[in-house]
Amino acid sequence: MTVAPLTTVDSPIELRDVTLQLGGETILDGVTLDVRRGEFLALIGPSGGGKSTVLRVIAGLLRPVSGTVRVESTPALVFQDYRLLPWRTALRNVQLPAVLGAGGGLEAREALHLVGMDAYADYYPAQLSGGMRARIALARALAQSGDVLLLDEPFAALDALVRERFNAELRHLHEKTGRTTVLVTHSIREAVWLADRVAVLRNGKIVEILDTRGEGRVSAYTDGLERHLREVLGAGDSTRIRTDARDPFSWSRLLPLLAIALGLVGWTVAATLLNQPFLLPTAGAVWGKLVGTPALFASSFWVTVSTALAGTLLGGVLGLVIGYPLAKVRPLERFLSPYLVASQSTPIVVLAPLLVSWLGFGFLPAVLVSALSALYPIIVSTLVGVREVDRAYHEVFSSLRATFWQRLTHLELPGALPVLLGGLRLAASLALIGAVVWEFVDPNQKGLGFRVQAAGAYYDKATQFAAIALLILFGVLVYWLITTLERRVMRRRGR
């Protein structure tokens, strides 16, 4: 195949004897097509005839096995399912071409205004109706550089009235912008009413091209019964906001607090009846230890927390660095799988004495043990999250000619964020365990784990319970923070 700049000034798109095969089957067979500058061309034909394939060839997403494709500039493609990034607002979705270096069309807010969506710039796709998302997808294409607009059945999922209204708006938009436009549709009426010419594609071949500038547009919509029904139904309107249905307050939300209160009461009753402070101190005795020596517990709390946080950060970074290539290269995952399974199966308690002999004592080996504890969940969540990013979004980024780094930072990591947060929630808990395990080995790390061990030697159960309570409090706090962030991320995506 040859891809080269156009030599014919009045034809931004030229296809010459294009043949394309997928899976050994011929999808396009010797397609020859010219699209004139500023023209609106419609492609119609039966399903599986190759209409969308022609658009992808023009967009550069598919490469034919033979023939010549010449396109004046990088086309803007509006997909049938819109493919708006759920973690970006309407405005930021329209700004995506500019962010990826494919801008140069209309400014994002101007494009939103042109499609009547400037009032909804800060809404997320999950909050918008199907018709509104179609407008956002069209605005994103208008914000992209180039003079070629490709539409792959963008209104197929809309109801009849809304679709008619969109057709009128699209026709007006084409007259206003003058972009060379190619529309794939199954509707004969839509093709005749919108297009200057209609190309019929059947069995991978263009069998006829009809000029529809004249009588076709006049007679596209009939009078009589159809007109009466349209008047009864009224004007189609796609401007509907999807609001999140919030559940009313339920007393069940107080059940965790009730469980904690009952647990404290049960603890107090059991400790009072047992009356053995060397075995089970009362809650009052534990509280007395905490308020009686706040400086001691504060310093120990900081030692453990700083180690756990540093271990979570280091384990998270290493997990991303290791997990991403595993997600992208499946043979690499299979090759390293024995080591990954072995690392997860080896208790961190076994590794701690070895690290003492290799690295000695101190903060650095403590952080390393904590990071090793947190590593595996981040690797797995990165691998799963990156692979779960929909291939449809990758096609959007391919149409925008995104670089590897742009695809990573604007698609794969944001797309994998819900799964990554789930892995981080587990990793933070394991990092805290790793920090405490190291404190059992290293006498220089006088954290909460050290306090538990030292108090146990003197049968000081109140101090032991106080240190354990602080460890639980920190673990619950980290869990709550990550879960809150995760819920916010999922709510924005309509999940």
Question: Cα-flanking dihedrals φ and ψ of residue 63, to 5°?
Answer: -115, 120
The residue whose two tokens read 């023209």 is 39
pLDDT for the residue 5: 42
Q: How far apart are CA 52 and CA 150, in angstroms?
A: 10
pLDDT for the residue 225: 47
* Residues counted in the chain: 495
3-state secondary structure 407-431: HHHHHHHHHHHHHHHHHHHHHHHHH
Task: List, run by run, the mean pLDDT of 10-residue segments along the chain (495 residues).
Answer: 46 89 85 90 85 89 89 86 91 93 86 88 89 89 86 78 77 84 86 86 86 60 49 52 55 78 83 78 82 86 92 94 93 88 75 74 86 92 93 90 92 93 93 89 83 81 88 91 90 79
Strand partners, 201: 206
Q: Check the CA dihedral 53-132-119-493 and report its sign.
A: negative
Measured CA to CA in angstroms, residue 494 lies from 90, 419, 482 at distances of 14, 15, 18
Strand boundaries in 153-225, DSSP class E? 180-184, 197-202, 205-211
CB 381 within 8 A of CB 323: yes
Q: Check the CA dihedral 288-290-291-292 and report its sign.
A: positive
Q: Which two tokens stand for residue 402?
A: 């995104």
pTM: 0.80
Q: Please work out, in degrees rounded to the nearest 5, the angle formed at the alpha carbon of residue 224 by the alpha carbons of 218 and 229.
A: 105
Question: CB neighbours (10 Å) of residue 334?
Answer: 10
Question: CB neighbours (10 Å) of residue 159?
Answer: 13
Q: Distance from first CA to last CA of the chain, Å, rounded?
A: 44
DSSP 60-115: TSS--SEEEEEESSPPEEE-TT----TTS-HHHHHHHHHHTT---SS-HHHHHHHT
Q: How far apart are CA 478 and CA 435, in angstroms?
A: 15
Q: How far apart are CA 270 and CA 281, in angstroms?
A: 9
Measured CA to CA in angstroms, residue 294 lies from 32, 337, 451 at distances of 82, 47, 13
The domains found in the chain, sorted by start residue, are 2-75+146-233 (3.40.50.300), 293-492 (1.10.3720.10)
pLDDT for the residue 229: 45
Q: How far apart are CA 53 and CA 56, in angstroms?
A: 5
pLDDT for the residue 384: 94
CB 104 within 8 A of CB 141: no
CB 89 within 8 A of CB 162: no
Nearest to 180 by CA among 40, 7, 6, 32: 40
